[in-house]
Chains A and B, each alone.
Chain A
Amino acid sequence: MSIQHLTVGNFDETISKGKVLVDFWADWCGPCKMVAPVIEELAAKYDGSVVVAKVDVDSEGALAGRYRVEGIPTVILFSDGVEARRFVGVQPKEIYESAL
């Protein structure tokens, strides 16, 4: 499944079951552009076992606020709706993968 773009309207339902990896990003953020292809690769590789999603903190400021995202990129792994791991800043692929 391709990367889902989440909003405040579908966020809770999407993360409620299974493993969901969410990349909080914004268009103005250079480091987010470096992480984007890594996230795309993980989405393809873990298709079927992990849902991979993105939240634009510019349009979805409420979600960024709710999860206290204070630096981007921030990537959060949710397990059945609960935050399981959080990665702040640009990380190598292996670091994200270690949590999946």
Chain B
Amino acid sequence: MYDIMIVGGGPAGLSAAITARQHGKDVVVITNDVTQSGLYKAEIIANYPGLPGISGKELSDKLTKHAADSGALLLKGQVSSMLAYEGAVNAAFGTEMLESKTAILATGVVQTSLLPGEEKFLGRGVSYCATCDGMLFRGRQVCAVCLTPEAEAEAAYLESIGCAVTRVYEKNLSINGEDKIESITAGGSEILCEGVFIFRRAIAPNLLLRGLEIKDGHIDTGRNCETTVPGVFAAGDCAGKPYQIAKAAGEGQVAALSAVDHIAKMEV
């Protein structure tokens, strides 16, 4: 079991990892491919204190190296769901379950508005996880909504297990059907299907973890980065504006210290 599981490998998550390691905690960071992040692609960062003019790539690389050198375990991939249970916060990572005493959500800006029909059919034909639910659609027509570079591999996986896959690259679409999915409408045309796999950079936090409150499009947090779920903290863009690297790094540190405190109280 880890002490602190950090979801997101941007400035907030990596800053949290560095601080947590300074306190001797076992830390795992689950991250998308950072080379696809907004930070990585930024040509120049003008306002990060002490490092004027640094490129996004350079800052991202330095942060990643700092966290890795500090002893945090970095895992590339996506968490598909989380659950707080019996003083632990667990996460589904591919076919595995990661167990941790606490979690810090640092997913960056996440689209909290869903596609028409998405929530209605979630788990009833809409899925975010090809390895979890793909087998249930063998031999059937599904749409793979590919909104990340990694999505291609997910869509290929669905094909490899025998799903008939139509790839969709459209962001604006609707999922249609009465009591089951019948089709999607994307780019003005209708595609018949029974299942819809949506691959985004991140899953809406309140769908990732039931019980997490959202306020004005961000995870509802207090001054200590605590969320409405005990043992779960949030930092960076997912916790609110301004979307700035210095703020994210600062919040990552606060969240890590709060997680360290939480663990100390658990162990009393």
| Chain A contacts to B: CB under 8 angstroms | 26-35, 37-38, 57-58, 64, 68-72, 74, 88-93, 95
Among listed B91-99, B213-221, B233-241, interface-contacting one: B91-99
Expressed in whole angstroms, the Cα–Cα distance for A13 and B6 within the complex equals 45
Residues of chain B having any CB pair with chain A under 8 Å:
80-86, 90-97, 122-127, 129, 131-133, 135-137, 180, 195, 210-211
Chain B residues with CB under 8 Å of A69's CB are: 136
Q: Apart from A89-B81, A92-B83, what 11 extra A-B contacts exist at CB < 8 Å?
A: A27-B95, A29-B131, A30-B97, A31-B81, A31-B92, A33-B97, A34-B83, A34-B91, A68-B180, A70-B136, A90-B92
A93 shortest CB reach to chain B, Å = 7
- Shortest distance between the CB of A45 and any CB in chain B (Å): 13
Tell whether, in the assembled complex, residue B96 and residue A30 are in contact, meaning their CB atoms are under 8 Å apart. yes
Of chain A, the residue at the smallest CB distance from B98 is A30
Task: List 17 A-B residue pairs with CB atoms under 8 Å apart, sorted by A's residue number.
Answer: A29-B95, A33-B96, A34-B83, A34-B90, A34-B92, A38-B83, A38-B85, A57-B135, A58-B135, A70-B127, A70-B133, A71-B123, A71-B126, A71-B132, A71-B136, A88-B124, A93-B85
Closest A residue by C-beta to B134: A28
Q: Which 6 pairs from chain A and chain B are nearest by CB?
A: A88-B123, A30-B92, A71-B123, A33-B97, A31-B92, A90-B81
Q: Which of A26, A34, A38, A91 contacts B135 (CB 8 A)?
A: A26
What is the CB-to-nearest-CB distance from B183 to chain A, in angstroms, rounded to a whole number? 15
Task: Specify which chain A residues have a CB less than 8 angstroms from the CB of B137 in the assembled complex.
Answer: 70
With a cutoff of 8 Å between Cβ atoms, the chain B residues found around residue A74 in the complex are: 123
- The answer, among B126, B129, B180, B195, for a CB contact under 8 Å with A31, is B129
Q: CA of A6 to CA of B215 in the docked complex: distance in angstroms? A: 43
Known: A28-B135, A30-B97, A57-B136. Is A37-B122 also a contact (CB below 8 A)? no
Contact B97 A70 (CB under 8 A): no
How distant is B121 from chain A, measured CB to nearest CB, in Å?
8
Instruction: Tell me, rounded to whole Å, the shortest Cβ–Cβ distance linking B76 to chain A.
Output: 16
List of B residues within 8 angstroms of A95 by Cβ = 210
CB <8 Å contact, A91 and B210? yes
* Complex-state Cα separation, A76 to B221, whole angstroms: 33
Contacts of B123 in A (CB 8 A): 70-71, 74, 88-89
A28 to B133, CA, bound (A): 9
